[in-house]
Amino acid sequence: MLRFTAFACLFVLAIAAPFDMALDDDWEMYKRVHDKAYDSAGEETYRRGVWEKNLDIIKRHNLEESLGVHTYTLGMNKYGDLTTDEFVSTMNGYRAEWGTSKKNVVYTNVNVKDLPDTVDWRPKGYVTGVKDQKQCGSCWAFSTTGSLEGQMFNKTGMLVSLSEQNLVDCSRKEGNMGCQGGLMDDAFQYVIDNGGLDTEDCYPYKAVQGTCMYKSSCNSADVVKFNDIPTGNEMALQQAVATVGPVSVAIDAALSSFHMYHSGVYDDSMCRSDRQHLDHGVLAVGYGTMDGKDYWLVKNSWGMSWGDQGYIMMSRNKNNQCGIATAASYPTV
């Protein structure tokens, strides 16, 4: 059951404009569906106000989408009672400012004409089910395990869910900070330094940082090196996704339109591509074109109730929108 910390500004919202009473039943259903419980009446008042504002954003956007203004829809999800700032500070744990320079850049001559028009690694067995990082900024760990799971499947023919908690608890020496954020390259480096990574079954996820409990007997992965895609090069990223498998990518996921994405090809001109604005680690598992719009097929780690069953189609070939090719990498096993 989710519980949230009270905020000093609760009393301000408590005396704000009255709620829409017609939404009372909807609010009760929202709490019930997403198992919401609040510590006080004041906190619930605050959350109700945030929820109504987000609901209004969703309705307005979807009306515009029906008129052809947008290529994607929004939808209410379990994060609908969080403000944008709260969401970013809690869920978006990629820390671009910690990175320095690319160490293992893969330079290739890319000819996209030689690549398939559509790629989806899920039916080929490379991708585990959608996971949920919960209220912990560990997206970097989920992105890391996602690309590593794919490469281990390619090597062994077995798809094994790997432990994000192992990375959260144990990779501080490499520069990661558990629920306070990290980098996929630093996580790959940990697996190299440690000589392996445990399975999810052996080292389950707890959504908090704890004492390192790695067990070599549970090791089910190895990394020889990690490979960085040339910064900002979507063609190079396409080649990697097409020929290697799922690739770890960092994106700007700070916009409310991303937080409430539901379906379609996500395309927001306010999304930034420069390194300092990257704040979320995800997994590119394929690409394609829908209704004339090129997209990247991206697996998120916010549970299946977010987006399109936990996935999002993000704009492709639109000047590296959201920075999807700015800090992409994958391991060699």
3-state helix, strand, coil in the chain (%, to 5): 35, 20, 45
Instruction: Provide the residue ranges of all domains of the chain, joining segments of one domain with +.
Output: 84-161+169-193+222-332
Hey, which residues does 266 pair with through a beta bridge? 314
Q: Are 77 and 58 in contact (CB under 8 A)?
A: no
Question: Tell me, what's the pLDDT at 102?
Answer: 53
The model's pTM is 0.91
The tokens for 244 are 């290697």
Give the integer Cα–Cα distance in Å for 197 and 167. 8
One of 3.40.50.720, 3.20.20.70, 3.90.70.10, 1.20.1630.10 is the CATH number of 84-161+169-193+222-332, namely 3.90.70.10
Residue 164 in contact with residue 206, Cβ under 8 Å? Answer: no
pLDDT recorded at residue 15: 37
Cα–Cα distance measured from residue 249 to residue 140, given in angstroms and rounded to the nearest whole number: 9
167 with 122: CB under 8 angstroms?
no
C-alpha span between 181 and 22 (Å, rounded): 40
Pair 287, 297: CB distance under 8 Å: yes
Q: Taking a C-beta distance cutoff of 8 angstroms, is the pair 262, 308 a contact?
A: yes
β-strands 261-266, 311-315: how paired? Answer: parallel
Long-range contacts of 303-310 (CB under 8 A, 24+ apart): 303/78, 303/130, 303/131, 303/132, 304/130, 304/132, 305/34, 305/77, 305/78, 306/77, 306/78, 306/79, 306/261, 307/77, 307/261, 307/262, 307/263, 308/261, 308/262, 308/263, 309/130, 310/130
Q: Which residue has the tokens 């020889």?
A: 224
* Rg (the chain; Cα; Å): 20
pLDDT under 50 in the chain at which residues? 1-16, 100-101
Token pair 């097929």 in the structure block, residue: 297
Per-residue confidence (pLDDT) for residue 19, from 0 to 100: 84
Cβ contact 184:140 at 8 Å = yes
Torsion over CA of 104, 107, 108 and 112, rounded to 10 degrees?
A: 90
Quick: pLDDT tens for 43-95: 999 999 999 999 999 999 999 999 999 999 999 999 999 999 999 988 898 88
* Structure token digits, residue 92: 């978006």
Q: How many residues does the chain have?
A: 333
Determine the pLDDT at residue 5. 40
Q: Enumerate the active-site residues.
A: 139, 280, 300
